Amino acid sequence: GIPIVITNRGLAGGKYISSMSDDKEAGRMQGEYMAKNLPQGAKIVYLEGETGHTGSMARWEGFKEACLDKRPDVQLLTRAVANWSTADAIKDMTLWLKLFPQIDGVVAGNDGMAVGAVQALKDANRLNGCLVSGVDATADALKLIQAGEMSQTVKQDAAGQADGLFTLIDSCLKGKVPTENITVPFTSITKENIAQFAK
């Protein structure tokens, strides 16, 4: 009889209510941006979060559907699990930059990995003309977008998720267990709208 309220990570079964964002939407926003902005015949790489993480898998699926399935000319060179880690992303990107003479885009499941990719691209003097996309709208990512060194981040609204969580819990405490989950939308941030989000 005790309600379970979750946020940020899904559960594999059981009865609960949630205040969450749909990770597939974040991937779809990345895919739409890349599909619109990559040149014809582009070659890209993908950095994913930890293996088996529902959010990581959903972001990949959303990206694949919105970009790779709609732009058959775009070639995915490789993808790797970089565990949401900047250090792992730097290691993977450094290797890929040695293996692949052409990389036109990097899509990362979070900003930490995207920031690592930007660092590796800069170190190899290959950032110019390469689109880099992440998720979370971290301060580092917003600075890189302002500087023109990163192309996109997708803001996960943590405050919105927390507000939703408190709404659900408050309702439970008042004796009315909600039956509807709260879905908090993502927002795509690029150079066009960075001024609204940069501090």
Residue-wise pLDDT for 158-176, tens only, equals 899 999 999 999 999 999 9
> Which pLDDT does position 162 carry in this prediction?
95
> Is pLDDT of 199 > 80?
no
Segment 31-77, tens digit of pLDDT? 999 999 999 999 999 999 998 888 899 999 999 999 999 999 999 99
Confidence of residue 8 (pLDDT cuts 50, 70, 90): confident
Q: 108-129 burial, b for 16+ CB within 10 Å, e for fewer?
A: bbbbbbbbbbbbbbeeeebbee
> Which pLDDT does position 54 carry in this prediction?
85
190 φ, ψ to 5°? -135, -175
The candidate with the shortest Cα–Cα distance to 106, out of 34, 156, 190, is 34
Segment 114-162, tens digit of pLDDT? 999 999 999 999 999 999 999 999 999 999 999 999 999 999 888 999 9
d(CA 97, CA 92): 9
> Which pLDDT does position 145 carry in this prediction?
98
Instruction: Provide, rounded to the nearest whole percent, the portion of the chain with pLDDT above 70.
Output: 100
d(CA 154, CA 33): 10
